[in-house]
Chain A
C-alpha cells in the first residue's frame, strides 16, 4: 500500500499540491518544438530544467531527446541571462547546426526579467545567427498554467515567426495539432490524405519521437514540420486547430497575422469528437467525406454495439489534460459508462463548464476539478469514498490502481511504464477502437480474474 496514508476524509487544503496532475510549462514548449524539422529546443534557465525535461520525454518515448540549456549560474541570476543566451546561440549554431533554435524561458529567467525578443534580435545583429537559420522563442513561466500552456505558447512562438502571407490564398488547410502522440499526428495525416485534403500539419512529432532504429544516431530525425511548410501556412485558406487549450491562441495569432480564418475542434478522441473533426476538415478543406472514412466509423460503432453489456454503468476516474479529458468523457458517455471523477492540474474555467454540460444530466453525481489543488491525492480520496471500475490517465495512476485493485488504462503524459502510446493512435475512429479494445480488455481480465469457477466463462 504505497498510498496507505491517503485519508478518506477530504479536508480543505489551501497551500499544498500532493502528487500533481500536471507539470510545468517548459516541457510543453520543448515537446512542441521537437515537432519542427531540424529544430533544437533551448531552455533558458538552470541546467536542471533542461535535464529534467529531456529525461521525462525520454522516459515517455524511449527516444533520444535533444535540447540545449543556457546553464545559468549565480552570476546570470544576478546580472541577467543575456550573456549566457548569446553565447548559447553562437555555440549551438557552431556545433549542433540546427536549422532552428526554439528558446523557451523558465521560472528563473522570467523572474529575473530576461527579454527573449530583445536578446534574440541582438544575436541576429551580432551575426550569431547564420544566414537561413532561425531563432524563435516563447515565454513559459513555470508558475503560470501548466505543461499544456507551455505547448500552446511555443505554437504561438512558431506562428509569430514563420508564417508569411503573399496575399494569395492557396488550396491548403493548416492542421494545428494539440498535444497528442506522434502516432496521433500520423493518424490525423492519414485521415486527411484519405479525404484528399491538402494540408500542412504543425507541430508534427511523428518520425521524430518514434524514429526507427537505423544503426545511426541522428541529432535531427527526418520528421517534423519543415520550415517551408511553416512559412507557407500563412497562405493557407484556413486553419483547423484540434485541442482548444493547446491550439486556440496560435490559431488566433495566425488569423491576425496572415488572415487565415480558423476553427477549433476537440481532439478527435472517440466517436462524436471524431465526427466533428472529420466534418470540420471536410468543410474547411472543401473535400467530401469518402466512404473509406465512413467505413472506419462504422467499424467503431460496430465494436460498441457488440460489447455494450460490458460497458454499461461502469464507473470511471480519469485525469490528464483538458483537451484529452473533454472528448474522452464524451466518448465514455457514448459508451454508456459513467465518468465520475475527473481531475486536471491544468487551469481554465472552460473545462468545468464543458464537463458540466456533458455530465449534469447523465452523471449528476460526477465530481471534477481542475487548476490549483486538483491533484492525484484528491482523486485518490474521491475513489476511497466511493470506488470506480476503471482508471484512465498517465502512469501516476499506478499507485492508486495497485492500492485499490482497480484496472488502469494508461493514456496521457507521461507514460513511463508501458509501451505503445507513441505507436498506436488513440485519435480518429481507429483510435476509438483501440481505446475500446483496451478498456474491454482490462474489464474482462478483471472479470476473469475475480469470477468464481462456476461463473468463469470461455465466451465473452
Chain B
C-alpha cells in the first residue's frame, strides 16, 4: 500500500533531497482520514477561554456536546464558559427556522447568568436554513445592553484555520469599545495563549516581573472588559500565529498597535520573547530585569535539564501539531534536550512557517502538511522515531506502535510553556520515551 496519494505528494518533502518548498493551505482531499477539524472548531477553541462571556452554539446538539469543556483553559474568575449551551435544533427548526429558538435561549440565559458579552456560534445548517443570526444578535444586544456577537462559523467554509479568522472578527467588534481602564505606556496584550494548564499565568508573571503591565489576555483567562480595552495597550505579543495573527494585523491597522510574533516553548524562544519585548520598549531597566529573570530561571532550569539531555541523547522525535509555528519551537526545544526531529508536520501550517521549519530541521527530516494516520505511521517506521509529539488523535496510534508520546495540544496536563514548562516537557518526553512498558510490547518466545 502506498503511504500517500499522488495528489498529496507536494505536501510531503524530505529535507536535503532538492524537493521544492512544501505545498500547504490546500483543502483536504475528500476521503482522507485527515486529522483536521472545521471552521466552527477553530472559532470555538479560540473564543472559548473568554471566561465571563456566554458561549451558545446555534445548531443541532453535536457541535455543543463535542466542545463541552474539552479544552483545559483555566480561569481565575467565572466559569460559565465551561458549560455547554445549545439551541439543540430539531427537524422542525430545520424546516421552519430556528430564530425564535435562538432568541429565547439567548434572552433567558443573559437574564440568568448576566454575562459580560455573548458569542453565538453558527453551525453548518444555520446558513442553509436561512436564520438571520445577525438580526437576532442585534436585537438581543439592544434589549439586554451587552455585546451579542455572531460568530459565523459554519463548518463547511473551510478548516480550523479559517475559523480562527472568524473568531478574530468577532473579537474585533469588542476591541475599542471601552476606555475605562488605566493602561500604562509600558503595557502589552498577550494574544494567542489559551492558559492551558495555567501557562498564561506563568507568562504574565514573567512580563510583570520585567515591569510591564498586562492589559488584555486574548483569550486565555480572558475578560470581556479587558478585550474591550485592548486597543489601549502599547504592544500586541502574538503566540500561535495561526489563530491570532489576523487580530494583531487588524489592530495595527485600526489602532496603530504594533505586534510581535513570539513563541513561549523552549528556552531560546521564551527568552527571545522577553528580550524582544524589552527592546521594543527601549527601556534599559526592562532589559536589565529581563536578563536577570532569564538568568535566574536558567540557573534553576539548566542543571535540572542536564539529566534529561543525557538520558535522551540520540533519541528521535516525530512532531505532528496544529500549526507549523509551534513545530518550529518544538524542534528547538527537542534539540536542547538531545532529541533530533525526524518528522515535522502540521494540520494547518502556512508557507512562511514551513519555510522556517524546513531551514531549521536536519537533512533527511520529513516535512508534511495535513497528514493522516497511515502516512504518519509509515514515516515513523521509516525514520525510526522514538517519541511522538501530537494531539488527542495521534496518541493511541503512537502508543500502538510502541512510541513514547507527549500531548502538546489541548490535553496537556502540565504547563509546557516558559522555563518551568520546558522542564515539564523534558520530564514528559523522558518519562514516556524511556517508560519500562516499551520492553513489554512483545512477549519473548
CB of A48 within 8 A of CB of B37, answer yes
User: Is A90 at the interface (CB under 8 A from chain B)?
Assistant: yes
Within 8 A of A (CB), among B144-171: 154-160
Q: Contact mask A1-28 → B, CB, 8 Å, 1/0?
A: 0110101000001111111101111110
Within 8 A of A (CB), among B168-184: none
CB of B37 within 8 A of CB of A68, answer no
A92 to B372 CA separation, bound complex (whole angstroms)? 12
**Which of B15-23, B216-224, B390-398 faces chain A?**
B390-398
Within 8 A of A (CB), among B385-412: 392-393, 395-397, 399-402
User: Is B40 at the interface (CB under 8 A from chain A)?
Assistant: yes
Within 8 A of A (CB), among B74-119: 79-80, 82-91, 93-94, 100-105, 108-109, 112-113
* Known contacts A58-B392, A213-B402: A47-B159 contact under CB 8 Å: yes
A67 to B373 CA separation, bound complex (whole angstroms)? 10
Cβ–Cβ < 8 Å partners of A48 in chain B: 37-41, 63, 155, 160
- Known contacts A17-B84, A77-B154, A92-B31; 16 additional CB pairs below 8 A are A17-B64, A19-B83, A23-B66, A47-B38, A48-B160, A52-B41, A62-B396, A62-B399, A69-B30, A77-B128, A90-B31, A91-B29, A95-B1, A95-B32, A97-B1, A146-B61
Cβ–Cβ < 8 Å partners of B393 in chain A: 51, 54-55, 58, 64-65
Q: Contact mask B1-19 → A, CB, 8 Å, 1/0?
A: 1101100000000000000
* Known contacts A48-B41, A64-B397: A91-B5 contact under CB 8 Å: yes
CB of B396 within 8 A of CB of A144, answer no
CB of A16 within 8 A of CB of B397, answer no
Q: Pick the contact of A95 from B4, B39, B395 — CB < 8 Å? A: B4
* Known contacts A52-B62, A111-B94, A211-B400: A46-B29 contact under CB 8 Å: no
CB of B30 within 8 A of CB of A88, answer yes
User: Is B33 at the interface (CB under 8 A from chain A)?
Assistant: yes
User: Is B441 at the interface (CB under 8 A from chain A)?
Assistant: yes
User: Is A418 at the interface (CB under 8 A from chain B)?
Assistant: no
**Which of A197-205, A215-223, A298-306 faces chain B?**
A215-223
Total chain B interface residues with beta-carbon distance under 8 A: 81
Question: In the complex, which residue of chain A has the Cβ closest to the Cβ of B109?
Answer: A16
Cβ–Cβ < 8 Å partners of A72 in chain B: 124, 155-156
A218 to B102 CA separation, bound complex (whole angstroms)? 45
CB of B93 within 8 A of CB of A143, answer yes
* Known contacts A48-B41, A55-B392, A217-B401: A142-B31 contact under CB 8 Å: no
Question: In the complex, which residue of chain A has the Cβ closest to the Cβ of B4?
Answer: A95
> Which of B27, B37, B123, B124 has its CB near the most chain A CB atoms (within 10 A)?
B124
CB of B2 within 8 A of CB of A49, answer no
User: Is B28 at the interface (CB under 8 A from chain A)?
Assistant: yes
A228 to chain B, nearest CB (A): 23
User: Is B377 at the interface (CB under 8 A from chain A)?
Assistant: yes
CB of B37 within 8 A of CB of A20, answer no
A426 to chain B, nearest CB (A): 23
Return 8 A-B CB contacts under 8 Å, by A number.
A17-B87, A64-B397, A67-B33, A69-B28, A76-B156, A91-B31, A107-B60, A213-B399
CB of B400 within 8 A of CB of A70, answer no
Q: Contact mask B119-150 → A, CB, 8 Å, 1/0?
A: 00001110111000000000000000000000
Cβ–Cβ < 8 Å partners of A73 in chain B: 27, 156-158
Cβ–Cβ < 8 Å partners of A89 in chain B: 31
CB of A106 within 8 A of CB of B124, answer yes
* Known contacts A15-B101, A74-B157, A217-B377: A111-B32 contact under CB 8 Å: no
User: Is A231 at the interface (CB under 8 A from chain B)?
Assistant: no
User: Is A401 at the interface (CB under 8 A from chain B)?
Assistant: no
User: Is B255 at the interface (CB under 8 A from chain A)?
Assistant: no
Question: In the complex, which residue of chain B has the Cβ closest to the Cβ of A219?
Answer: B374
Q: Pick the contact of B61 from A13, A22, A83, A216 — CB < 8 Å? A: A22
Q: Pick the contact of B156 from A18, A40, A74, A94 — CB < 8 Å? A: A74
A59 to B113 CA separation, bound complex (whole angstroms)? 30
CB of A213 within 8 A of CB of B64, answer no
CB of A69 within 8 A of CB of B34, answer yes
Q: Contact mask A62-105 → B, CB, 8 Å, 1/0?
A: 11111111111110110000011101111110111100000000
Question: In the complex, which residue of chain B has the Cβ closest to the Cβ of A106?
Answer: B124
A352 to chain B, nearest CB (A): 18
Cβ–Cβ < 8 Å partners of B396 in chain A: 58, 61-64
Of all A-B residue pairs in the complex, the 10 with the closest CB atoms, nearest first, are A48-B38, A24-B62, A88-B31, A91-B31, A46-B155, A15-B104, A52-B66, A142-B60, A23-B65, A16-B105
* Known contacts A88-B30, A111-B128, A217-B401: A96-B105 contact under CB 8 Å: no
A56 to B129 CA separation, bound complex (whole angstroms)? 27
CB of B442 within 8 A of CB of A215, answer yes
A410 to B100 CA separation, bound complex (whole angstroms)? 36
Q: Contact mask A164-188 → B, CB, 8 Å, 1/0?
A: 0000000000000000000000000
A335 to chain B, nearest CB (A): 31
User: Is B68 at the interface (CB under 8 A from chain A)?
Assistant: yes
CB of A215 within 8 A of CB of B89, answer no
A49 to B103 CA separation, bound complex (whole angstroms)? 26
Residues of A within 8 A of B (CB): 2-3, 5, 7, 13-20, 22-27, 40, 42, 45-56, 58-59, 61-74, 76-77, 83-85, 87-92, 94-97, 106-108, 111-112, 141-144, 146, 211, 213-219, 345, 372, 396
A450 to chain B, nearest CB (A): 27
CB of A69 within 8 A of CB of B32, answer yes
Question: In the complex, which residue of chain A has the Cβ closest to the Cβ of B441?
Answer: A215
A58 to B393 CA separation, bound complex (whole angstroms)? 7
Residues of B within 8 A of A (CB): 1-2, 4-5, 27-41, 59-68, 70, 79-80, 82-91, 93-94, 100-105, 108-109, 112-113, 123-125, 127-129, 154-160, 373-374, 377, 392-393, 395-397, 399-402, 441-442
Cβ–Cβ < 8 Å partners of A58 in chain B: 392-393, 395-396
CB of B128 within 8 A of CB of A71, answer no
B406 to chain A, nearest CB (A): 16
A112 to B154 CA separation, bound complex (whole angstroms)? 14
CB of A5 within 8 A of CB of B27, answer no
A153 to B122 CA separation, bound complex (whole angstroms)? 27
Question: In the complex, which residue of chain B has the Cβ closest to the Cβ of A377?
Answer: B83
* Known contacts A55-B392, A214-B400: A108-B156 contact under CB 8 Å: yes
Cβ–Cβ < 8 Å partners of B65 in chain A: 20, 22-24
Cβ–Cβ < 8 Å partners of B28 in chain A: 47, 69, 71
> Which of B62, B64, B79 has its CB near the most chain A CB atoms (within 10 A)?
B62
Cβ–Cβ < 8 Å partners of B37 in chain A: 47-48, 51-52
CB of A24 within 8 A of CB of B392, answer no
A23 to B36 CA separation, bound complex (whole angstroms)? 21
A213 to B87 CA separation, bound complex (whole angstroms)? 42
A386 to B397 CA separation, bound complex (whole angstroms)? 45
A330 to B41 CA separation, bound complex (whole angstroms)? 40
Cβ–Cβ < 8 Å partners of B93 in chain A: 143
CB of B61 within 8 A of CB of A142, answer yes
CB of B33 within 8 A of CB of A68, answer yes
B33 to chain A, nearest CB (A): 5
Cβ–Cβ < 8 Å partners of B159 in chain A: 47
A19 to B397 CA separation, bound complex (whole angstroms)? 31
B333 to chain A, nearest CB (A): 25
CB of A23 within 8 A of CB of B61, answer yes
Cβ–Cβ < 8 Å partners of A61 in chain B: 396
A96 to B36 CA separation, bound complex (whole angstroms)? 17
* Known contacts A52-B62, A55-B66, A143-B60: A70-B1 contact under CB 8 Å: no
Cβ–Cβ < 8 Å partners of B70 in chain A: 55
Q: Pick the contact of A2 from B40, B79, B103, B373 — CB < 8 Å? A: B79
Question: In the complex, which residue of chain B has the Cβ closest to the Cβ of A3?
Answer: B83
Cβ–Cβ < 8 Å partners of B125 in chain A: 107-108, 111, 143
Q: Pick the contact of B32 from A64, A91, A144 — CB < 8 Å? A: A91
A68 to chain B, nearest CB (A): 5
B167 to chain A, nearest CB (A): 14
A40 to B400 CA separation, bound complex (whole angstroms)? 18
A5 to B400 CA separation, bound complex (whole angstroms)? 42
Q: Pick the contact of B90 from A46, A47, A144 — CB < 8 Å? A: A144
